[in-house]
Structure 1
């Protein structure tokens, strides 16, 4: 089971205030624990929405709309993520609870969401085979 720990943005992260060295060290230690346990798939911090681009589809079948950041409502933004693969929902919660306060100022909030597996989204064998081939190709490209 894959889960994404979504680190919510704060007014500080949206203002581009960088984390303290103490927080960086704590997050690095946490990431090392994830790696040692063999559950870490990916994880990164994101730049503020002021450097972001939002693409929306206001009308079904219509042309996409492109809007430059910044965007409002910091609490609706994400500042980073960690993607893990674990055996259960309970294990994912345990790992999320171990993450240091992601902003270090008592404003941290983590949203934990399970990632759909291809078999949960599609049931056509041909489509599943195409998806598996694409995923294999991505893995092979990473190794070159």
Structure 2
């Protein structure tokens, strides 16, 4: 199973406060553990929402809203993509994480859908397309494109 582990934003992360050298070192050690255990598939920090935008959909209409966004508790400051046997394993890894922010912070763990989760709606043609796209992405990442 794959899980996205979401690092929730804080007032500091939204203000652009960068992590200390000590926190970067702690997170580096933690990420090494995740990689050695075969858990970590990806992970990145995100710039504050002031440097982002949202695209809202209403039928065929599209509206772009520039950041920053007001509800800090609903924003994301970073993420990992983990491969774990269960939600309980993902929780166990999250409990070992250094506090990602000064003060209080929160991680949210969400299971990523797999092809099987879509049942009959994912036709053989759509499944083949999905596989082809995954292969193309992997090839692009490998070639550095």
Scaled by the length of structure 1, what TM-score is found?
0.93
Superposed, 1:74-85 pairs within 5 Å as 74-85=72-83
2:38 aligned with 1:44, yes or no?
A: no
2:2 aligned with 1:31, yes or no?
A: no
Deviation at 1:99, TM superposition (A): 1.1
Deviation at 1:97, TM superposition (A): 1.0
Aligned to 1:69: 67
State how far apart, in whole Å, the 2-side matches of 1:133 and 1:8 are. 33
Instruction: Give the secondary structure class of the aligned counterpart of 1:64.
Output: strand
> What residue ranges of structure 1 are gaps of 5+ in the alignment?
none
Deviations 1:21-65 (A, max 9, x none): 1111111000000111111111011000010111111x2x22110
Residues paired across the two proteins, number: 141
Give the conservation status (yes or no) of the 8 Å contact 1:119–1:128.
no
State how far apart, in whole Å, the 2-side matches of 1:16 and 1:67 are. 20
Deviation at 1:80, TM superposition (A): 0.3
Deviation at 1:118, TM superposition (A): 2.0
State how far apart, in whole Å, the 1-side matches of 2:20 and 2:54 are. 29
State how far apart, in whole Å, the 2-side matches of 1:21 and 1:36 are. 22
Instruction: Give the secondary structure class of the aligned counterpart of 2:92.
Output: helix
Scaled by the length of structure 2, what TM-score is found?
0.92
* Worse overlay, 3-12 or 81-90: 81-90
> What residue ranges of structure 2 are gaps of 5+ in the alignment?
none
Root-mean-square deviation over aligned CA pairs: 1.1
Superposed, 1:1-144 pairs within 5 Å as 1-57=1-57, 59=58, 61-103=59-101, 105-121=102-118, 122-144=121-143
